[in-house]
């Protein structure tokens, strides 16, 4: 743990020691627990949330659309969701405010079997794409399709569970699936030389990926709790980027079916997704104004935001510690 992380946690916890109440906070994960969630499990194990007056419950999810819906409706106070999904949902009336970015680079990727003859987005017309109904990739796919001159309605969506993607692809029940880059090693191990892969960031689409979002009403009612949550979480992600093993161990201890080595590889890929010029030079978790404006325009162009709004209403950087920055990590 670096001096910056230690100082951030010490300052936060010293102030939190005076807290008089413990608030129950339900956090809606975007997916089943995995390496990308390790920092929160570590911070919970270490008691950092509790010392900040937060009784945190980490609830598994089934896609960003589902987690955004839960947070927007107030069923969960805070959650993790793809920012493009958040921007679209806010235009439909969901009360969502991004308070910390996690994936500065889009984690989305397409996977297929090379033996199928597919080489890229242009070949997907008439193909079956297997994906959970609430997955972020499914929501934002029209933008990827149109950026590659493909009619979004030309593909066939097949509802499958997150854990069934690989099996369905290998059995050829589906032709294509999507997955976050932090699971790339799993696909590579299973599919070997027959693995076809295209990261969305190389196909003309690199919006912000997952961000931590708060319910708007909760943020207004208890900004101190949101501020405390963000400070603990930002410091945790920074700490885990410096020393990953304790964080991954905490994740595995809390979720017995997970394997340490697999989730450590997962986390190493997450680090690459977290690292960009802004997170390296301004602050880990920072939403850049220009990029957010571009993402809003992209979502509006391809998904048609129902009710226009000022994109600056959809996020805030005010709770972030600018002393915590991300190291440079290459995406391979």
Task: Give yes or no for a contact between 105 and 276, defined as CB atoms under 8 angstroms apart.
Answer: yes
Q: Which residues contact 258 (CB under 8 A, 6 or more apart)?
A: 33, 34, 251, 252
| Rounded Cα–Cα distance for residues 202 and 151 (Å) | 19
| pLDDT tens profile 180-202 | 888 898 999 999 999 999 999 88
Task: Give yes or no for a contact between 173 and 118, defined as CB atoms under 8 angstroms apart.
Answer: no
| pLDDT tens profile 134-165 | 777 888 899 899 889 999 999 999 999 988 99
Rg (CA), the chain: 19
- Position 57 pLDDT exceeds 70: yes
Looking at the domain covering 108-202, what would its CATH class be? Answer: alpha beta
Confidence category of residue 126, pLDDT binned at 50, 70, 90: very high
E-strand spans in 102-143?
108-113, 128-131
- Judged by DSSP in three states, 100 sits in strand
| pLDDT for res 317 | 98
Confidence category of residue 8, pLDDT binned at 50, 70, 90: low
| pLDDT tens profile 274-308 | 999 999 999 999 999 999 999 999 999 888 999 99
| pLDDT for res 103 | 96
| Rounded Cα–Cα distance for residues 166 and 190 (Å) | 8
Average pLDDT value for the chain: 92
Task: Give yes or no for a contact between 140 and 84, defined as CB atoms under 8 angstroms apart.
Answer: yes
Which overall architecture, per CATH, does domain 3-105+209-314 show? 3-Layer(aba) Sandwich (3.40)
| Rounded Cα–Cα distance for residues 320 and 99 (Å) | 8
**What sections of the chain are H helices per DSSP?**
3-16, 38-45, 48-51, 64-73, 83-91, 136-147, 165-170, 184-191, 216-221, 223-242, 245-254, 260-274, 277-281, 289-303
| pLDDT for res 99 | 98
- Please state whether beta strands 96-101 and 108-113 pair in parallel, antiparallel, or not at all (unpaired): unpaired
| Rounded Cα–Cα distance for residues 229 and 213 (Å) | 11
Delimit the CATH 3.40.190.10 region(s) of the chain. Answer: 3-105+209-314, 108-202
| pLDDT for res 15 | 52
pTM of model > 0.75: yes
Task: Give yes or no for a contact between 90 and 81, defined as CB atoms under 8 angstroms apart.
Answer: no
| pLDDT for res 138 | 87
How much is the average pLDDT of 76-84?
Answer: 96
How much is the average pLDDT of 172-183?
Answer: 93
Q: How many angstroms from the chain centroid is the CA of residue 266?
A: 13
């Amino acid at each position: 743990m670096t001096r910056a992380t230690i100082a951030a946690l010490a300052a936060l916890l010293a102030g939190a020691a005076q807290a008089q109440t413990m608030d129950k906070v339900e956090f809606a994960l975007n997916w089943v627990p995995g390496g990308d969630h390790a920092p929160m499990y570590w911070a919970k194990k270490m008691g950092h949330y509790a010392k900040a007056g937060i009784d945190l419950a980490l609830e598994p999810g089934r896609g960003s659309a589902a987690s955004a819906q839960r947070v927007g409706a107030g069923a969960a106070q805070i959650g993790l969701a793809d920012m493009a999904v958040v921007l679209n949902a806010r235009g439909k009336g969901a009360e969502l405010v991004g308070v910390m970015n996690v994936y500065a680079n889009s984690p989305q990727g397409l996977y297929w079997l090379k033996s199928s003859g597919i080489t890229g987005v242009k070949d997907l017309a008439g193909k079956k794409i297997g994906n959970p109904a609430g997955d972020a990739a499914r929501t934002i796919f029209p933008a990827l399709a149109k950026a590659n001159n493909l009619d979004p309605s030309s593909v066939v969506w097949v509802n499958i569970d997150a854990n069934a993607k690989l099996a369905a692809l290998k059995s050829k029940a589906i032709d294509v699936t999507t997955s976050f880059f932090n699971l790339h090693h799993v696909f590579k191990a299973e599919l070997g030389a027959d693995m076809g892969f295209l990261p969305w960031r190389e196909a003309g689409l690199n919006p912000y990926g997952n961000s931590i979002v708060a319910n708007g009403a909760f943020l207004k009612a208890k900004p101190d709790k949101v501020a405390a949550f963000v400070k603990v979480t930002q410091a945790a992600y920074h700490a885990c980027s410096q020393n990953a093993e304790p964080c991954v161990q905490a994740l595995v201890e809390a979720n017995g079916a997970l394997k340490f080595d697999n989730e450590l590889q997962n986390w190493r890929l997450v680090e690459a997704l977290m690292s960009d010029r802004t997170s390296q030079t301004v602050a880990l978790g920072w939403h850049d104004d220009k990029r957010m404006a571009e993402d809003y325009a992209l979502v509006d162009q391809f998904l048609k935001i129902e009710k226009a709004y000022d994109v600056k209403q959809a996020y805030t950087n005010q709770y972030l510690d600018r002393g915590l920055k991300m190291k440079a990590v290459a995406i391979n």
